[in-house]
Structure 1
């Protein structure tokens, strides 16, 4: 049965708890595979919880800005098409 996604803060705590342990011991302790552990370490290895929260905020803001840009480009394209038909 597939488990839900872990929060970034939980992943960072797993990595912190695993310091000093072998990869096998850390994976066994937290119930994750070695591939998952290595992916977590690669993605969040040197990050603190505050940095991860800020990263999530920035990603959310970036997504909102991309939506706004797409809306503006769509409006501009619609106006261009309307003007071409009138000419």
Structure 2
């Protein structure tokens, strides 16, 4: 599933909302709902910077690889 907005864009929108704009105006300008802003983005990316979001993405990727490696080694142990 392709994401419509990148983490960098989302954090930019959050910073923009904190700086100056009303939420409804921001949502209509960029084409997303205020529910998405409050329920998904603000709760997930609240006070993150762009570098924090990139680091989080890298850590999630690394965690996924480690989980796969663990599952493969557990399977190999069961087979032997």
Q: Name the TM tier (shorter chain).
A: 0.7 to 0.9
Structure 2 equivalent of residue 32 of structure 1: 32
Alpha-carbon distance, 1:4 to partner? 4.1
Map 1:1-87 onto structure 2 (within 5 A): 4-19=3-18, 20-38=20-38, 39-79=40-80
Runs of 4+ with >2 A deviation: none
TM-score when normalising by structure 1: 0.81
Aligned residue pairs, count: 77
Q: Separation in 1 of the partners of 2:58 and 2:3?
A: 21
Cα RMSD for the two superposed structures: 1.4
Unpaired segments ≥5 residues, structure 1: 80-87
TM-score when normalising by structure 2: 0.88
